[in-house]
Structure 1
Amino acid sequence: MNERELREQIALQGKSIFDRGLTFGTSGNISAKLGDEILITPTNTCMGRIDPDRISRLGPDGNLRSGDKPSKEAFLHLSMYRSRPNELAIVHLHSTYSVAVSCLADVDPSNVLPPITAYYVMRVGTLPLIRYFPPGDETLAEAVEVQSKHARSVLLANHGPVVSGKSLDAAVAATEELEETAKLFLLLKGQATRFLDCDQCRELEQRFPN
Structure 2
Amino acid sequence: MTEATKLREDICRIAKSMFDRGLTCGASGNISARLSDGTFLMTPTGSSMGFLEPSRISHLDAGLHLLSGDPPTKEIPLHHAFYGTRAATGAVVHLHSTHAVALSMLPDIDPDNMLPALTPYSVMRLGKVQRLPFILPGDPAMADAVRGLAGKRSAVVLANHGPVVAGKDLWAAAYAIEELEETAKLALLTRGARAAGLTTSQIASLVRTFEIDW
Q: Which bracket does the TM-score occupy, shorter chain normalised?
A: over 0.9
Percent identical residues: 49
Q: CA deviation at 1:114?
A: 1.2
Report the secondary structure of 1:48's partner residue: coil
Structure 2 stretches lacking a partner, 5+ long: none
Q: Over residues 35-84 of structure 1, what are the superposed CA-to-partner deviations in whole Å (9 max), with x where a residue is unaligned?
A: 31110000011101111011011122222121110001111100111011
Q: Is 1:7 aligned to residue 8 of structure 2? A: yes
Which residue matches 2:34?
33
Report the secondary structure of 1:182's partner residue: helix
1:8-157 equivalent positions in 2, closer than 5 A: 8-35=9-36, 36-147=38-149, 149-157=151-159
The one-letter code matched in structure 2 to 1:165 is: G
The one-letter code matched in structure 2 to 1:27 is: S
Per the normalisation by structure 1, the TM-score is 0.96
1:170-181 equivalent positions in 2, closer than 5 A: 170-181=172-183
Question: Is the contact made by 1:147 and 1:154 (CA closer than 8 Å) also made in structure 2?
Answer: no
Q: CA deviation at 1:148?
A: 5.9
Structure 1 stretches lacking a partner, 5+ long: none
Aligned length: 210
Per the normalisation by structure 2, the TM-score is 0.95
The one-letter code matched in structure 2 to 1:32 is: A
CA distance in 2, matches of 1:202, 1:38: 36
Q: CA deviation at 1:202?
A: 1.6
Which consecutive segments of 4 or more residues in structure 1 shift more than 6 A?
A: none
Superposition RMSD on alpha carbons, in Å?
1.2
Q: CA deviation at 1:140?
A: 1.4
Which residue matches 2:197?
195
Q: Over residues 114-157 of structure 1, what are the superposed CA-to-partner deviations in whole Å (9 max), with x where a residue is unaligned?
A: 10001111111100111111111112111012226111101111
Q: CA deviation at 1:205?
A: 1.7
CA distance in 2, matches of 1:99, 1:59: 32
Q: Is 1:164 aligned to residue 166 of structure 2? A: yes
